[in-house]
Structure 1
């Protein structure tokens, strides 16, 4: 089986690798089916846990790799990180301003509260946006094997896909649980939760095909996604987890989410 995988083209390898990462996102999102009842404290803690996951992923999965990649470029490594980060936050701010005039009821009609509806839309968008550069990174890793752009190895590319896949498990949960908390059905929460990982295979194919052209913009793309996620955490996730009075529980849950994601990111390199 391993030999057969080695014989595949880098594009197919990248596609298969990110189908795994998407599957792990779906697996994490499926935990929503095992939630019994609507215990508000538990659901608030899961929203805060999602915030912790997003903060940790923003640095260890996005900003830190982006800075490391930028060190090989012509500019100081902090410039792509700062530019991408601020642009990501600016985009989410613009989307937040546009949400009231966008017909979100078509997809989010089972969430009655308008503030919760906006939070849901921003959460889905930011997590999906965050998965695009991750998919590109996997695609670039496999594409580099054929183009000799970097000193990449097949084992390294596979390890990257496995690492991102394992990290995607809590991210899937971090989307589906808050959606269910805000009134969305379990089935629909799962669909939107796994959808955030669906973009990775598409992005991976693009990255593998255009590896030479994608590499220079990856630091900006990674930092851009980090800025978008931090904006959502600061504006919606943390305030939302506190709005029903479970402040201490939410704070502890956020720290646990951060610790879990940090551990996965650091342990998996």
Structure 2
């Protein structure tokens, strides 16, 4: 099975992986058909778990390989990882400034980005969409690095996609169910919940295409995806997971998410 997959073009593999992570978000969003409200503690656990997975994936699946690829530079082998990592954060900061959005659970008065009259629901969806951009890019870059016949790199990329898919499931529920609480119908809540992850297959294809056609950027691209993911974790996921006095519970979920992704990456990769 792995050998057959390794013969496919990396961009095609990235597309399939992006569709998988998108599908996991849609599956989580489908829980809105069974629940109208999401307990705040459970939401905190979901965001905390997602933060842990993304932190672990950022290091083991992205930064560590970036450093390894640059090891031939000797004393300056850290430069590609450093530059890429910082640029990833800068990119997300720019996106934050350019796209109006509102983090889940925050009042409209605290919306970020340029001034807008967009409805609160759209602003909430934009917030999660921004969050999903680096996840799609990370998956794409990982598959873009797969050389035909190299099952080791393929397993590492599959592990990353699987890990992101795992955290996308509860995340989909954490988006769709609150939208239902905002007054949307179940179908509209589901639609907007899954729509927030449509950028994942798109950016997965973009990331893979760039790496395949401009191979020298691979270590920079891996670190870039890591920096963007860490930016999201610090700026969005952790603050959202610490709301309404569930700090210890959310922190425990973050540790568990980190441990799960670490085990997956080290054991399978």
Under a length normalisation based on structure 2, what TM-score does the superposition of the two structures give? Answer: 0.75
Post-superposition offset of 1:126 = 4.2
1:102–1:267 distance in 2 versus 1, CA, 3 Å: farther
Quote the residue 1:131 is aligned against: 136
Q: Distance in 2 between matches of 1:2 and 1:48?
A: 32
Distance 1:173 1:102 in 2: 32
Task: Specify the SS of the correspondent of 1:193.
Answer: coil
2:106 is matched with none
Give the Cα separation in 2 of the matches to 1:160 and 1:52. Answer: 18
Deviations 1:36-59 (A, max 9, x none): 332222112111111111111111
Of 51-60 and 184-193, deviating more is: 184-193
Give the drift of 1:242.
Answer: 1.7
CA 1:59–1:5 in 2, change beyond 3 Å: closer, same or farther?
closer
Task: Indicate if the aligned counterparts of 1:32 and 1:177 stay in contact, CA closer than 8 A.
Answer: yes
Q: Gaps (5+ residues) in structure 1?
A: 146-152
For 1:109 and 1:123, how far apart are their aligned partners in 2?
A: 13
Task: Return closer, same or farther for 1:194/1:49 CA change in 2, 3 Å cut-off.
Answer: farther
Unaligned stretches of 5+ in structure 2? Answer: 101-112, 181-188
Distance 2:2 2:263 in 1: 29
1:80–1:223: 8 Å Cα contact kept in structure 2? Answer: yes
**What secondary structure is seen at the aligned counterpart in 2 of 1:110?**
helix
Aligned-partner Cα distance in 2 for 1:254–1:181: 21
1:37 aligns with 2:36: yes
The verdict on how the C-alpha distance between 1:181 and 1:131 changes in structure 2, with shifts beyond 3 A counting, is same
Residue 192 of structure 2 is aligned to residue 188 of structure 1: yes
Q: Say if 1:133 and 1:104 are closer, same or farther in 2 by CA, change over 3 A.
A: farther
Which of the residues 198, 201, 205 maps onto 2:205?
201
Q: Could you say if the C-alpha distance between residues 134 and 104 of structure 1 is closer, same or farther in structure 2, counting changes exceeding 3 Å? A: farther
**Equivalent pair of 1:73/1:216 in contact (CA under 8 Å):** no
Name the TM-score, length of structure 1 as normaliser.
Answer: 0.75
Deviations along 1:176-222, one digit per CA (max 9) or x if unpaired, are 234236536233212223532342234334443x1xxx222121122
Residue 66 of structure 1 contacts residue 220 of structure 1 at CA under 8 Å; is this kept in 2?
A: yes
1:165 partnered with 2:165: no
Match of 2:21 in 1: 25
- Three-state SS of the structure 2 residue aligned to 1:101 is coil
Q: Which residue of 1 aligns with 2:239?
A: 239
- Please state if 1:101 is matched with 2:105: no
In structure 2, what is the Cα distance between the partners aligned to 1:87 and 1:202? Answer: 17
CA distance in 2, matches of 1:162, 1:81: 22
